[in-house]
Structures are given as structure tokens and as C-alpha cells.
Amino acid sequence: MTLSGKRILITRSAEQAGELAFLVRRAGGVPVFFPTIRLVVPEDCAPLDREIGRLSSFDWLLFGSANAARFFCERAARLGLASWPGGLRVASVGPGTTKELASRGVPVHLTAAKHTAEGLFEALLPRGVAGKRFLLPRAEEGRDVLPGAIVRGGGAAVSVAAYRNGPAEKDEAVAEEIVARPPEVCAFASPSAFHNLFLLLGEDTAREMLRNSRIAVIGEVTAEAVRARDFRVDIMPETYTLKGMVDAIEARFRADRTAVRE
């Protein structure tokens, strides 16, 4: 197996780590669990509940992450939303988010080819933005790139917090292990996962550990967060999914072995 014995640090929240761990094991790798983020509902769900109650007033429902899709759908189900308004169209930032929505029975009318907020806006343009109303469920800490672009394009954008994230509780035993013996790859699926590693380990300790590992990310936004701290992104898949990430990690190790033989 390509990743035979290679240790891959998984920083996803505890409830979301399973899929990536499965893919790592299937490739022969060893997942090392060190959640750096904890995802929870907003402290005040009233704004989210209000927008769910008037979904029919929107033309488009836009999801910029699988987490936004999950928390929004869970809240809608808890409020008793039995069906989606017939005229409402749903757009997704990428295949991982589309998969999450599909698993919940939500039809996706548009998936961005470029898996960023900018890419999602570009995908919307041919469908028309001016005069349309867009609802954007997202993290409390979400960027304003997409709503800003919609407003400049003549549309109305309503952003609402569907979830929030913060540092996970530190696992002291695993922290000691990864500092003493850095994993071959540290994988990050969001900027928060990367930033919170420094909060949990401490700035200097996290830097030293990362200098002795390869850094793998999903998405350009996470890559920008890594570069902003003066680290190099070693691995980033063309397809922004967990499978894409593991495939890219495998490709990197195959390339390394080929370079050694040559």
C-alpha cells in the first residue's frame, strides 16, 4: 500500500474524523487523531431559525462548506421543515458539500467547478445574480467574499451563522506523541483547524513539529492560512474532497520514492 506505515495527523473534529481515517487506513497509512476544532451550534439560533422560516423568499440557498450544510439541515429538520420550497435552488461550493447535501436528500442544482467562494460566485453568474435573493448559511467566523460579490453584482445576500467553531479539548498524550515524533503528514481541511493547532500546542512547539512534517490541505483558503504563517503547502488535491486529499498524499509519496530510485 502506498502509505504503508506513514502516520497522518487528522485535525478534523472528533465527529468528522472517521471518513478521513478510513481513507488513510485503506491506503495503508496510520491515522493519528488530534482534533483541533470543535463544531457547535451558534449561541443564539434565533437568526438561523428566522431565515429557515422564510426560505421561500429566497431564490438561492448557497453552501460554502459541508459543515454549513450539515448544521443547516439538522436545524431545519429540528424545526420540522418537511419540504423545501419548490422555487428554491441550492448551490454548493464543491463535491464534498454536494455529497453532504445529497446524503440528506437535498437536491443540488449547481456545484462550483472551482471550489472556493469566488468560484461559487463565478458559477452563479450565468444563472443571473442581479435582482435575486441569496441565503448563505455559514460559520460565525465566515468570510465576506461571497456575499460581497453578490451585492456588487446586484443581488441581495443574507448571511446567517449555522455553526461556530473553537479549539477542541487538548489530548495531552497525543500532543506529547506528535511533538516527540512528528507525523509524516499533517492534514488540514480548514483554516481554523490549522490556526487552532498553534493554540493547542503553543506557537513555537507547533512550528517545530510542522517543520518536520509535510503539510496537506483541502482548498486554497486553507492553503492561504498556511502560507500566511510562512509555511509551505506540500500537498493540495485538485479535487477538494477527503478522498482527493488522500489520493494527493499517496501521489506525493510515490513521487518521492521515484525520485530516490532515480
Residues 220-246 have pLDDT tens digits of: 889 999 999 999 999 999 888 889 999
Show the domain range for 21.
7-36+169-261
Among residues 165, 184, 219, the one where a domain terminates is 165
pLDDT band at 1 (very low <50, low <70, confident <90, very high): low
Write the DSSP symbol of residue 235: B
Among residues 139, 165, 191, the one where a domain terminates is 165
Residue 18 has pLDDT above 60, yes or no: yes
Q: Does residue 208 sit in the same domain as residue 236?
A: yes
- Whether 1 is covered by a domain: the verdict is no
Q: How many residues does the chain have?
A: 262
- Among 130, 144, 156, 180, which residue's Cα sits nearest to residue 57? 156
pTM: 0.79
CATH number at residue 229: 3.40.50.10090
Q: Does residue 53 sit in the same domain as residue 131?
A: yes
In angstroms, the CA 131 to CA 198 distance is: 43
Residue 262 has pLDDT above 60, yes or no: no
The pLDDT tens digits for 141-166 are 777 889 999 999 999 999 999 998 88
